Amino acid sequence: LLQVIKARVKDLMIPRYKIVVVTHVGQLKEQSMQIGSRCLWDPASDTFSSYVFKNASLFALANVYAVYFE
């Protein structure tokens, strides 16, 4: 999953950005989970995208960070 997401984002050929992909996959069984992330960046040039997939038995969370690099 991680390699597919990273390859598709890199195929966009966005110049001067480093791409970081973080994924979490887990089983849904009457429990809760909190996922957080922190990083130091410039809100004027750096960005991220997040997507959650969920069905009856599992969840998958993918975060893609694009950090400007000179």
> Domains in the chain, please, with CATH?
1-68 (3.30.1140.40)
Average pLDDT over residues 61-68: 93
Angle 57-62-67 from CA coordinates, rounded to 5°? 175
CA distances from 14 to 19, 39, 68 (A): 9, 21, 10
Whole-number pLDDT of residue 50: 94
User: pLDDT tens-digit profile of 13-56?
Assistant: 889 999 999 999 999 988 888 888 888 889 999 999 999 999 99
Whole-number pLDDT of residue 2: 82
Whole-number pLDDT of residue 17: 92
Considering the entire predicted model, what is its pTM?
A: 0.81
Whole-number pLDDT of residue 51: 94
